[in-house]
Structure 1
Amino acid sequence: MPEADLQHSESGADEGRPPVQCDACRSAFESDSRRAVSFLLLDHLTIPVVSCEDHLEQFASVCGLTTEDTAETLDHRPAGGVRCPGCRLAPHNSAQPVIPVRKGAVLVVACPEHQSKVFQRFRTGLQTRHHLSSNVGATTNSLR
């Protein structure tokens, strides 16, 4: 995904709906059920996120490019829960960022500091993936 496609928008920006084309993502955003919340485990961070399964997996894999360990997602509350008090209170905040992931999006339900860290990880992961794919393409062309 080109970096220009990456936008930081508020979840209520488009008539109360996130600006995404994926019906499964929109359904997850609108769900009042706790089952819609997954947890992104990235280094020392445990961040609640909401998205469809496919876009959440894509998001985690891009974020995982910026860590030594793998980025994991859980469909259940992790042992120890969410450590950050701000992230625990984040579901009560009406303005949560939506990070576009291809034709879907991920809603990051975290405190502003951890939202920023996850957003930066995703952006850096996109840049890393772009550099890796550019280098592979250049190497393949030079071998011909």
Structure 2
Amino acid sequence: MPSTELELPQADDGGTEPPVRCEACRSAFESESQQTVSFLLLDQLTIPVLSCDDHLQEFTAVCGLTSEDSADLLDHLPAGGVRCPGCRNARYDSSHPLVPVQDGGVVITACPTHQSAIVERFRAGLRTHEQLTATLGTTHSATR
């Protein structure tokens, strides 16, 4: 059986500083407990995610900018569970994308199809956020 432990990416510049500076995020990534898993509910998707509460909230808010419905975050398995069999079993795969959010990040523990879908939703949400704040004449780079 493959390991459930996640590998954190190394700093791109070859330095010693990790790409995720948020200690709470790093603790969530390194925890072997299933209690650290949250679930992002966005349109018809139920995506398991790992991070600290603050960065999960930020990630959820940005993803919600691309949805007609609200994006919700649950700290427990939703009623009906995770519908996609690939997402249910993805926790056994150690190659999950780390999406940078401020000084932390979110690990998406879903199947490759839903990983791509949610990462694209997040990127679209960032573009929408930038357009909204540019229209207002303000800049906010908190989610970069």
TM class, shorter-length: 0.7 to 0.9
- Deviating above 4 A after TM superposition, structure 1's stretches of 4 or more consecutive aligned residues are none
Cα distance in structure 2, aligned partners of 1:74 and 1:108: 14
Q: Deviations over 1:54-96 (max 9, x none)?
A: 0000000000000011110000000000000100110010110
Aligned to 1:62: 62
Q: Deviations over 1:96-137 (max 9, x none)?
A: 000000000000000000000000000000000000001111
Aligned to 1:44: 44
Q: What is the deviation of 1:14? A: 2.0
Q: TM-score, normalised by structure 1?
A: 0.84
Q: In angstroms, what is the RMSD of aligned CA positions? A: 1.6
Aligned to 1:4: none
TM alignment of 1:4-43, pairs within 5 A: 11-14=7-10, 19-43=19-43
SS in 2 for 1:100: strand
SS in 1 for 2:77: coil
The percentage of counterpart residues that share the same residue type is 58
Any stretches of 5+ residues in structure 1 without a counterpart? 1-9, 139-144
Aligned to 2:72: 72
SS in 1 for 2:137: helix
Q: TM-score, normalised by structure 2?
A: 0.84
Any stretches of 5+ residues in structure 2 without a counterpart? 1-5, 12-17, 139-144
Q: What is the deviation of 1:11? A: 4.2
User: Structure 2 vs 1, CA of residues 74 and 61 (structure 1 numbering), >3 Å: closer, same or farther?
Assistant: same
Cα distance in structure 1, aligned partners of 2:30 and 2:117: 25
Aligned residues: 127
Cα distance in structure 1, aligned partners of 2:23 and 2:109: 19
User: Structure 2 vs 1, CA of residues 11 and 101 (structure 1 numbering), >3 Å: closer, same or farther?
Assistant: farther
Asked whether the 8 Å contact 1:11–1:107 carries over to 2, the reply is: no
TM alignment of 1:94-105, pairs within 5 A: 94-105=94-105
* Structure with greater proportional helix content: 1
